[in-house]
C-alpha cells in the first residue's frame, strides 16, 4: 500500500470489531519459519506432499498488490487533478491520525522502476516466456502479477475524457511496459477509492449519473492500456467506499450518514461496475481478450455457538457484507439478498418511512448488473464470531442496525496489530461459502496480509501468518496476491519491504518475510 497514517478503519473492519491487543502465534521452527504452524494447517487440510509441504497448482498466480493514492505521491504534479482523498486529508483539523497525507507517500511515481525491481527480486527470471492470460510460465519462475490502481484524477484531472492528461497516461504506460518487460503481469484496479474532486463537487457517488462518469473513465483506460492489460478490477472494496465514506465518515468524502446515503452510493457503485463491464464486453473484449472482475472484502463469519440463532447470524453477516455486492452480480437471480431487502424494508417502516432505504432494482437494472463478473476478487484478513438475537432497529437508521448481528472474538486465536484474528480454516470457509452460493465463480484472492505494530525487519509473525494462510489455500483457489510490497507510513505496518520515510529517497529495505515469500514462490509450495 502506501505511506499515510489513516484511521484504524482504513481497511474494512468496522471499529466495533477491532482490538489493540496482539496475541502471539504458536512457536515455529527456526529453519523453516513454519514448523508447528504448518502442522496446525495440515491437521485441517487434505493434500500434503510426501515431504510435508503443500503444493500449489502449476499455473498459480503469485503476486503483490498496492493502490495509487497510498504509494505514488506527486499529488499535484504533472497535471494531476485533486481527488477526494487529497481534499479529505487536507481538511483542518485533519481527520487523519497524526495529520499525515499521501502527498509524498512512497514516491512510487518517481521510483516505480525500483519497485518493479523489488518485484523482480521476489523471483522472476528474464528468460521466462510470458503470456498475459492465461498464465503459462513455470510455477517457480516468477512473481507473476502486480496489482496496482490507476489514479483517475492523474489521467483525467477533472474526471472526464475531455481533460485527458498525457503525462499521467505516460506514467502508467511506462509502468505497464516495464512490468511486461520483466515478465510480470499487470492486474489493474480502476477505482481504489480516489474519485476526482471535480466529480465529487457535482455530487459524487450520490449522483445518479455517476455510473456514466465511471463508464467513460473505464473506456478511456481500456483504450489506452487494454492492449497490454488483460486483468481488470473495476472497484476495490465498494463496501468500504459506501460504509466508511457515506455512513461512518472516516474515509473520503467523509459523509456521516444515517442508513440512506450508504445504500444510495452502493447502488450507484454497482451500476458503475456493470456499465464498465458491459462496455468492455461489447467494445473491447473481442480484440483485447482480457477479463474484468470486481474485488470485494469480507471477514470470515463463524457462529459464536452451536445454536441455530448464531448459525443464522453468521449467514446473515455474509449476505450483508459480501452478498450486498456479490449477489446482484454472481447469483442466478440477481438483485440484493432477500434478507437485506426484508430487514431494511421492515426497519424503514418501523422508523416511519414510506419506502425502504435500500434502492429497488427494476428489471432493466437487475439484468444490467447480473452476470457482470469474469472473476471475483476476495480481500480478507479477519474472522469474527456472529451472535444471534434481536438488535433493536432504533430510531436512527444505520447499516449495522439493519444487519442486526453482534460480533465477538475468540480470546484464544492469534491476532495482529489491527486486532484481526487468524483462524486456520478462514479462507477455506469463505471460499466454500462463495462457491456454494454463487455456483463456483473464478476466484482471485486479491489481498491478504498481516499488520505489525511497528517496522519490524525480522517479521516472524508475518511469516507465521503466511504459513497458516498459504497452507490452507493450496487446494481451494486459483490465484493469490499478498498485500503489499511496501510498508505504508501508518501506525500499523503491512508489507514485505520497509520504507524509510525520513529519507527523501524513500529507501526500501527487505524484511525477512520477503525472503520467505521468495522461497514459497520458487518452490510453489509451503
The full DSSP string for 334-373 is: -SS-HHHHHHHHHHHHHTT-SS-SSPP--HHHHHHHTT--
428 and 470 in contact (C-beta within 8 Å)?
Answer: no
Strand partners, 181: none
In angstroms, the CA 491 to CA 493 distance is 7
| Annotation says 447 is catalytic | yes
215 and 276 in contact (C-beta within 8 Å)?
Answer: yes
Q: Nearest CA to 419 among 467, 454, 451? A: 451
In angstroms, the CA 241 to CA 236 distance is 8
Contacts of 338 (CB under 8 A, 6+ apart): none
Grid coordinates given for 329: 452480480
244 and 15 in contact (C-beta within 8 Å)?
Answer: no
Put residue 445 in one of left, alpha, beta given phi > 0 → left and psi -120 to 50 → alpha.
beta
| Annotation says 237 is catalytic | yes
- R_g of the chain, CA atoms, integer Å: 22
Q: What's the CA angle centered on 263, arms 262 and 265, to 5 degrees?
A: 70
Question: For residue 411, how many other CB atoms are within 10 A of its CB?
Answer: 10
Looking up cell 430487514 gives: 343
The residue annotated as part of the active site, out of 237, 247, 428, 437, is 237
- Residue 55: DSSP 8-state: B
The residue annotated as part of the active site, out of 215, 247, 447, 484, is 447
Looking up cell 473491447 gives: 284
User: So which residues are the catalytic ones?
Assistant: 237, 447
Amino acid at each position: 500500500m502506501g505511506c499515510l497514517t489513516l484511521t484504524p478503519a482504513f481497511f474494512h473492519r468496522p471499529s466495533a470489531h477491532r482490538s489493540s491487543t496482539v496475541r502471539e502465534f504458536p512457536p515455529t521452527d527456526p529453519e523453516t519459519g513454519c514448523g508447528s504452524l504448518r502442522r496446525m494447517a495440515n491437521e485441517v487440510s487434505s493434500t500434503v506432499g510426501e515431504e510435508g509441504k503443500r503444493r500449489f497448482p502449476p499455473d498459480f498466480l503469485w503476486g503483490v498488490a498496492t493502490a495509487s493514492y497510498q504509494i505514488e505521491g506527486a499529488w499535484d504534479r504533472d497535471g494531476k487533478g485533486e481527488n477526494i482523498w487529497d481534499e479529505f486529508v487536507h481538511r483542518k483539523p485533519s481527520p487523519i491520525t497524526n495529520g499525515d497525507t499521501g502527498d509524498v507517500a512512497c514516491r512510487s511515481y518517481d521510483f516505480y522502476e525500483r519497485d518493479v525491481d523489488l518485484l523482480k527480486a521476489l523471483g522472476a527470471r528474464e528468460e521466462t516466456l510470458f503470456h498475459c492470460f492465461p498464465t503459462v510460465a513455470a510455477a517457480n519462475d516468477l512473481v507473476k502479477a502486480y496489482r496496482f490502481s490507476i489514479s483517475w484524477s492523474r489521467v483525467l484531472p477533472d474526471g472526464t475524457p475531455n481533460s485527458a492528461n498525457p503525462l499521467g497516461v505516460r506514467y502508467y504506460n511506462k509502468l505497464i511496459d516495464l512490468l511486461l518487460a520483466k515478465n510480470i503481469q499487470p492486474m489493474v484496479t480502476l477505482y481504489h477509492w480516489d474519485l476526482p474532486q471535480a466529480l465529487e463537487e457535482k455530487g459524487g457517488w450520490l449522483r445518479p449519473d455517476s455510473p456514466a462518469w465511471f463508464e467513460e473513465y473505464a473506456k478511456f483506460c481500456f483504450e489506452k492500456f487494454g492492449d497490454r492489460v488483460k486483468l481488470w478490477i473495476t472497484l476495490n472494496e465498494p463496501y468500504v467506499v459506501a460504509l466508511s465514506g457515506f455512513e461512518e465518515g472516516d474515509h473520503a468524502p467523509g459523509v456521516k450518514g444515517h442508513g440512506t446515503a450508504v445504500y444510495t452510493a452502493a447502488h450507484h457503485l454497482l451500476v458503475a461496475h456493470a456499465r464498465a463491464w458491459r462496455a468492455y464486453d461489447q467494445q473491447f473484449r473481442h480484440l483485447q481478450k482480457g477479463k474484468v472482475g470486481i474485488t470485494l472484502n469480507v471477514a470470515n463469519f463463524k457462529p459464536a455457538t452451536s445454536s441455530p440463532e448464531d448459525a443464522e447470524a453468521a449467514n446473515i453477516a455474509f449476505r450483508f457484507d459480501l452478498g450486498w455486492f456479490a449477489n446482484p452480480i454472481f447469483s442466478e437471480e440477481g438483485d440484493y439478498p432477500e434478507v437485506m431487502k426484508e430487514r431494511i424494508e421492515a426497519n424503514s417502516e418501523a422508523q416511519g418511512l414510506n419506502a425502504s432505504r435500500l434502492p429497488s432494482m427494476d428489471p432493466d437494472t437487475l439484468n444490467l448488473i447480473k452476470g457482470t463478473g469474469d472473476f471475483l476478487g476476495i480481500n480478507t484478513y479477519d474472522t469474527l464470531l456472529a451472535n444471534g438475537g434481536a438488535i433493536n432497529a432504533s430510531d436512527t437508521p444505520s447499516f449495522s442496525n439493519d444487519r442486526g448481528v453482534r460480533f465477538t472474538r475468540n480470546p484464544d486465536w492469534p491476532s495482529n496489530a489491527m486486532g484481526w484474528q487468524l483462524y486456520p480454516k478462514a479462507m477455506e470457509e469463505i471460499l466454500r461459502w462463495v462457491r456454494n452460493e454463487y455456483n463456483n465463480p473464478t476466484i482471485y484472492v486479491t489481498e491478504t496480509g498481516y499488520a505489525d505494530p511497528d517496522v519490524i525487519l525480522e517479521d516472524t509473525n508475518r511469516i507465521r501468518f503466511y504459513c497458516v494462510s498459504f497452507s490452507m489455500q493450496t487446494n481451494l483457489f486459483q490465484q493469490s496476491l499478498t498485500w503489499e510490497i511496501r510498508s505504508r507510513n501508518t501506525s500499523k505496518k503491512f508489507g514485505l519491504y520497509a520504507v524509510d520515510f525520513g529519507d527523501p529517497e524513500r529507501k526500501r529495505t527487505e524484511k525477512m518475510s520477503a525472503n520467505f515469500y521468495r522461497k514459497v514462490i520458487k518452490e510453489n509450495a509451503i
